[in-house]
Amino acid sequence: MPAKVGRILSGVEEAAESSKLWCAAAVVMAAVGGSRGRVSAAAGLSALVVAQVLANGVGKRVVDRPRPPKEWIPHDEVEDRPDSSSFPSGHTAAAVAFTAAVAPSWPRAAAVCSLPAAMVAVERVQSGAHYPSDVAAGAVIGLAGAWLVRHTPRMLPRRWVPGAVWWG
């Protein structure tokens, strides 16, 4: 991979670290998108939290997979990777969850978010932090988080969640 591409991917991943990128996107959506922006931002952040709990709180504890061997990674970024389990990718889970949860209420905003989300997923493999299967599992968890955020209110009796947003 060309060095310039690697630097761009690293920059996007750094912005996504600790969900900063997705929180910033939610702030922009809420500020400029009116009620649709606020609903999209809330859905995105809610799905992100669900995906992070599933990926980092459950998945990494259940599957204690070592990171790819350092010898496989021909650059210095391999020294910056976390010590936690490789499976699943929490970064990818968060990125996909946020983007997928935004999509039903604001497809254009989700389309904009999809590029950095894909870049985060690619970077996690390129940097040696994850195997491709870790990233794929993170994406599935992200989709599940978005699905749960979108469908859980429908499954609950309305009297249990007064004032909740009920998507159509």
Residue 3 CB contacts under 8 Å (≥ 6 apart), including other chains: none
Instruction: Report the alpha-carbon distance of residue 116 to residue 124 in Å, rounded.
Output: 12
Residue 103 confidence (pLDDT): 97
**Confidence at 168, pLDDT banded by 50, 70, 90:** very low
Question: Helices marked H in the chain — which ranges?
Answer: 3-16, 20-32, 34-52, 60-62, 90-102, 107-126, 132-155
Torsion sign across C-alpha atoms 134, 139, 145, 151: negative
Domain boundaries defined on the chain: 3-156
pLDDT, tens digit (0-9, with 9 covering 90-100), for 8-41 = 777 777 777 888 999 999 999 999 999 999 999 9
Write the pLDDT tens digit of every residue in 62-107: 998 988 877 776 656 656 666 788 899 999 999 999 999 999 999 9
